[in-house]
Structure 1
Amino acid sequence: MRLVQVTIPAGKREAVLGALDGEGIDYVVTDETSGREYTGVVYFPLPDNAVEPVLDMLEELGLEDQSYTVVVDANTVVSRQFDDLEEKYATDDTDEERISRQELHAEASDMTPTFPVYATMTLISAVVATAGLLLDSPAVVVGSMVIAPLIGPALAASVGTVTDDDELFWTGVKYQALGLGLAIAGAAVFAWLLKTAQIVPPGVELAAIDEISERFTPDLLLLAVALGAGVAGVLALSTGISVAIVGVMIAAALIPPAAAAGIAIAWGLALPAIGATVLVLVNTVSVNLAGLVTLWYTGYRPRQWFETDAVERKLFRNVVVFTTIVLVLSAFLGAVTVSSHQASTLQQGIDEDIETTLEQAEYDHLTLLEVESEVGDETAYEQGAIVDFTQTISHVTVTVGYGADEGERGALADELHERINERADEEVSVQVQFIEIEER
């Protein structure tokens, strides 16, 4: 429930109080003695879902430009008239839980800090995320998400669209673009300093670090994180629930990929930098798209019908632009996902072929110890120079053990090479290593 305080301009007192009486709203009026153009201040409690229609009604009486309105939380209201008001405005859908359009706009504006604070916090979160990725520490990466102030601008852009506030919309868009650009640049500079100072070992294989490799070769499933974050962020904001936890979810979709892009730039890795940057872009647009559609679905509209028509055109334009960007960038993520699935399927088949071969009677004296598969160009893989988006297996190393009776080993290498290449679309080099096993 809310307690609303409205100043009454001169000449509007009877109209305002009459409108409140007509709605069955219990109110208190005090006289305004400041000598300004106001004649009084009216206070009245409202159910959450009654705030928007009542304020719209008062705005139609001319209060919007001539007075100020304050809406605050009220913990308890004891009044038979208020109980009747709750029944009058009760609904069976999400409108009963959502805050008013006016409160939504104010909340979205307040959640966007001044740019110096926003830029500083974003830069700090990117640096912490970079350290967490290089340390392969999920805990540190999560910590970077907590301090990232990204939810305000993301929701501001969506709220600005549905409330027809172009200034709020463009503020949200500019904050996101500049903030994420700063995050990537800051992560790149920090990672370069770590590399130059040799705090990170010069021979480290970035592709072997799990926290980094999953952002270098982004999967289409990561798109669900951004879409879910956008929907959850809007629902949390529009129902008055704390958005702090949802803010972490939005940061999870944006800050680690931005840090990974910075790391790739610092190491001079072109393809991983592209992959991580694409992930940042598609997640950013997805958060905005999901938030925009959710706000419209939950019923937020401008007050005037002619404003609604204009906003519908802007909404349609933004949805089309955002959807197009998401689909184009998702095609890249989808290609990586399909390639990863094919490589996983191929790897499983190779493992089965090797096991089946070694189960034959002529290889009873051999024991399978290990199978290692390399993706992409072997030289580049060993140098950690690139990550191959195609995820093509190019080399397989099979390690087997043999006893005193070593038997025929050349035949095994030939047979494995033949079996594996029958399954693969491209030529795969096969290396078989033999290790003598002594049992005592």
Structure 2
Amino acid sequence: MREFHVHTPDDEREAVASILDEYDVDYTVVSEDAGSALFFFPLPTAMVEPILDEFRDSGLDAEVDTVSTKAELVETPNFTELRQRYSGSVQKLSKAELHAKIREMQWPYQLYYLGTLLSVIAAAAGLLLDQPALIIGSMIIAPQVSSALAAPAGVLLGDWELFVDSVREQGLGLGVAILAAALFGWVVRWTGVVPPGLSILHVELVGVRLAPTALSTLGAIIAGIVGAFGYTTEQSTTIIGVMIAAAIIPAAAATGLAIAWATPLLAVGAFLLLLVNILAINIGALVTLLGMGYAPRWAEEDGSFRESIPSGRRTAVYGTLAILLLATVGTGVLTGTNVAFSRTTNRNVETTLDRPAYSNLSLSGVQTAYGGMGWRSTPANVTVVVSRSSNTAYSDLPTLLERQIERDANRNVHVTVEFTESGTANARNTSNTYRSFPHPRVSSPHGA
């Protein structure tokens, strides 16, 4: 529910009253000595946009001053009927309210970059320690949600300054995050906090963030959808912020760590994951806002896109849009290539393990690192985790998998097979399953 205060000149008093009477809105009007009037009236949340549109269509938006606050209790003759009339509508914010909310949620730039710095360092520590709780904590303090949703909102609300500032803030923030994670990784590596010879590829929480996948992209799109829905309604935005940060902060930390460990191909893969996620969040939010009825004002008013942009900001807006278009197309092509490579790898692993010689092996997982656009001198790393019930070595398995994948995918790969020991002991009424860790690893000679 909303309580509105509308201050209007006396000559517009009848126009305001006529609109409110047409919608059966209960109101109180107070005349002032300065030749003006002050209207007080409550509205259901879903009714705010139609009333403001009526003011705008009547030319009153330039003549009246409007203030909206949240109402806790309303008891007027017609309010119950109004609430029932609009009960079937999604209780979304009006464009003016959404604009104000997005602006209010913007962090001061000092706190934004400080929050980004602290959250990515916490995430990098959590990745190296293999501690999900620390990574979750880093997501809670991350400030990325405000800038991630401001860009699509700025496009639809016609606030091009908000749009350009948001894109710049996202880019600079992610740059700061990557550099901070890289510096942190370099310090902890060369001061002996973690073993200098540690391979980040085999740190589980890092390894899963070294390349974009179809599922990671889907998760980022859902984060954008949920974020847009949460910000356009009166739902809590705290958990939404965590979901959006989950797609951004750990990926930025993984990129920085790959740089610190001097693994360019892994750094490119993690950076591609980061770009895909942030673009997917923005696109998901934009599509959701459009689906909820937040059409661009220039389209609603039969204007032109060019005229909706202030002449002094057209260069900045067009340049930003061009960068986003190139980034979207480029990351789309690279991600599609990597997803196709992952599917080819999974298919070959499944086909190989279906052979009778490997009937005692059960596939636990396949992890594919980013391998570039095609055949390269630096091989793409593929890690296959299998469970075995005996101590059979299967020393030929990595080489066989490597040959199969290289022939089918037409690219250079290095395969590592990790074994977990498992077995089941069945008694009369009980069963016991055991697994042995850590994984013994067997690598193909090609990458040794």
TM-score band, normalised by the shorter chain? 0.7 to 0.9
Show CA shifts across 1:316-371 (max 9, x none): x9999867744532332333333334434444454454xx4499xxxxxxx99xx9
Moved more, 281-290 or 343-352: 343-352
1:171-198 Cα offsets, whole Å, 9 max, x none, are: 2111111111111111111111212222
Going from structure 1 to structure 2, the CA distance change for 1:322 and 1:227 (only over 3 Å counts) comes to farther
- Quote the residue 1:274 is aligned against: 268
* 1:159 maps to amino acid: A
Q: Is the 8 A contact 1:217 1:276 kept in 2?
A: yes
* 1:71 match: 68
Partner of 1:130: 124
Q: Is the 2:158–2:297 contact (alpha carbons within 8 Å) kept by the matching residues of 1? A: no
Contact 2:298–2:308 under 8 Å retained in 1: no
Whether the 8 Å CA contact 1:253–1:280 is kept in 2: the answer is yes
- Following superposition, the deviation at residue 307 of structure 1 comes to 4.1
In the alignment, structure 1 residue 292 sits paired with structure 2 residue 286: yes
1:329 counterpart letter in structure 2: T
Counterpart in the other structure of 2:31: 31
1:140 counterpart = 2:130:
no
1:56 CA drift (Å)? 2.2
Q: Deviations over 1:373-392 (max 9, x none)?
A: 9999xxxxxxxxx9843639
Larger radius of gyration: 1
Aligned-partner Cα distance in 2 for 1:300–1:418: 55
Query: In the alignment, residue 102 of structure 1 is paired with which amino acid?
Result: A
Name the CA distance, whole Å, in 1 between partners of 2:368 and 2:82. 67
Closer, same or farther: CA 391–81 of 1 in aligned 2, 3 Å: same
Distance (Å, rounded) in 1 between the aligned partners of 2:70 and 2:55: 20
Cα contact 2:99–2:157 (8 A) shared by 1: yes
Matched, 1:201 2:195: yes
Whole-angstrom distance in 1 between the partners of 2:96 and 2:368: 55
TM-score, normalised to structure 2, is 0.75
Alpha-carbon separation, structure 1, partners of 2:53 and 2:250:
43
Q: Aligned pair 1:44/2:41, yes or no?
A: yes
- CA shift at 1:77, angstroms? 1.9
SS of 1:215 mapped into structure 2? coil
Q: Is the alpha carbon distance of 1:313 and 1:321 closer, same or farther for their aligned partners in structure 2, counting shifts above 3 Å?
A: farther
1:116 aligns to what? 110
The residue that corresponds to 2:161 in the other structure is 167
Q: Does 1:81 align with 2:78?
A: yes
Deviation of 1:10 (Å): 4.5
Mapping for residues 248-263 of structure 1, pairs under 5 Å: 248-263=242-257
When the two chains are superposed, the root-mean-square deviation of aligned CA atoms in Å is: 3.9
Contact 1:9 1:63 (C-alpha < 8 Å) held by counterparts:
no
Aligned equivalents of 1:290, 1:233: Cα separation in 2: 9
Residues 95-130 of structure 1: CA deviation (Å, up to 9, x unaligned)? 442111111111111111111111111111111111
Q: Is the 8 A contact 2:381 2:414 kept in 1?
A: no
Partner of 1:434: none
1:53 aligns with 2:75: no
- Which residue type is aligned with residue 341 of structure 2? S
Q: Deviations over 1:215-234 (max 9, x none)?
A: 11332210011100111111
Q: What code does the residue aligned with 2:78 have?
A: Q
The answer as to whether partners of 2:298 and 2:305 remain within 8 angstroms in 1 is no
Asked if the contact 1:225–1:249 (Cα under 8 Å) also holds between the matched residues in 2, the reply is no
Following the alignment from structure 1 to structure 2, what is the Cα–Cα distance between the partners of residues 419 and 85? 71
Deviation at 1:422, TM superposition (A): 8.3
Which position in structure 2 is the counterpart of 1:407? none
Amino acid at match of 1:105: H
Matched, 1:329 2:331: yes
Change (3 A) 1:310 1:160: farther
Contact kept? 1:5, 1:43, Cα under 8 Å: yes
Question: How far apart are 1:296 and its partner, in Å?
Answer: 1.3
Aligned pairs (5 A) from 1:200-219: 200-219=194-213
Distance 1:417 1:179, change over 3 A: closer
SS at match of 2:93: coil
Question: Where does the alignment leave 5 or more consecutive residues of structure 1 unmatched?
Answer: 360-366, 377-385, 394-398, 403-411, 432-440
Question: Which AA in structure 1 matches 2:12?
Answer: K
Q: Deviation per CA, 1:205-263: give whole Å up to 9, x if none.
A: 11111110111133221001110011111111112211211111111111111000011
Partner of 1:437: none
Q: Deviations over 1:382-425 (max 9, x none)?
A: xxxx98436398xxxxx9569xxxxxxxxx989x8998788565
Question: 1:408 aligns to what?
Answer: none
Q: Which amino acid aligns with 2:345?
A: A
Does the CA-based 8 Å contact 2:349-2:401 persist in structure 1? no
| Structure 2 counterpart of 1:169, one-letter code | F
Aligned length: 391
Is the Cα contact below 8 Å between 1:157 and 1:172 reproduced in 2?
yes
Letter in 2 for 1:3: E
- For structure 1, which segment, 70-79 or 165-174, has the greater mean C-alpha deviation from structure 2 after superposition? 70-79
Equivalent in the alignment of 2:382 = 391
Structure 1 residues 274 and 308, CA gap change in structure 2 (3 angstroms): farther
How far, CA to CA, are the matches of 2:99 and 2:128 in structure 1? 40
Partner residue, 2:12: 12
Please state how far the C-alpha of 1:79 moved relative to its aligned partner: 2.5
Query: Share of identical aligned residues, percent?
Result: 35
Secondary structure, counterpart of 1:12 in structure 2: helix
